[in-house]
Amino acid sequence: MKTLLTVFFALSLSSAVFAQDMAGATVSATRPVDVNVSFTPATFESKPWTKEFRYVVVVNKATTGKDAQTIQVYEYGQLIRKEKVSTGRDEFEKAGQNHAKKDSWTVTPTGYYTPDFLSKDHKSSAYGGKFSWLIGGTKMPYAIFFNGGIALHEAPKGTEGKLGKKASGGCVRLPSSLAGDLFTRIQETRGSRNPRFNVDGSAKLDADGQQLYTKATFSALIVVQNIVTE
């Protein structure tokens, strides 16, 4: 009886986690909307409020151009890292494809975001074999969630060779040499007072045209764009 209760509890917990955490996929009948945004070093001057973030992380999900499938990390306005990444496959996939548990869109939506929460040893039940719940779900180390279930995280073991190409279920896969370092850097900014903004990259202002601020978040701006650069 004790064994049966343990298995039942594990199954129930797994189902609850899955319902809350798609972690990289968007379960919807319609494709997630991409916003026409861009970020270049000149943006620090055209949008001065962006300079108030300690880190600005720019992901380019384009498939052509010199910055295709890359991440650029700025600290205090200076570029400190540029690496290859893998963004979403950008397709609608039925349950069972690529080990997905449900029908979903594998899209990494463009826009301006900031981290919602961090999970160093995150595991997702959105993808994996039918017994993946036994180990807590598919591993997503150093997950930095910034858009619902979409996160920056270390590329799963065996997928590192796909960096530089669209390959994920919607998350942004990072090389191991960057994932832990970026996680730690952003985690250390917890509790910062930051400018508020809209997903299209416009600043949120009060009735007098003054910049609005958050009370306590991470001092990191994450921009996902789809720009072909020569």
Q: Is pLDDT larger for residue 33 or for residue 55?
A: 55
Amino acid at 219: S
- When the pLDDT of each residue in the chain is averaged and rounded to a whole number, the result is 86
Q: In the β-sheet with 150-154, what is the strand arrangement from edge to edge?
A: 117-124, 138-147, 150-154, 172-174
Domain boundaries, the chain: 2-225
Statement: residue 22 has pLDDT above 60: no
3-state secondary structure of 225: strand
How many of the other CB atoms lie within 10 Å of CB of 6? 10
Residue identified by tokens 């798609």 is: 22
pTM of the shown model: 0.85
Q: In the β-sheet with 70-75, what is the strand arrangement from edge to edge?
A: 78-84, 70-75, 55-60, 220-225, 111-113
Is the four-CA dihedral 171, 174, 176, 181 of positive or negative sign? negative
CATH 1.10.357.10 matches 2-225: no
Statement: residue 72 has pLDDT above 50: yes
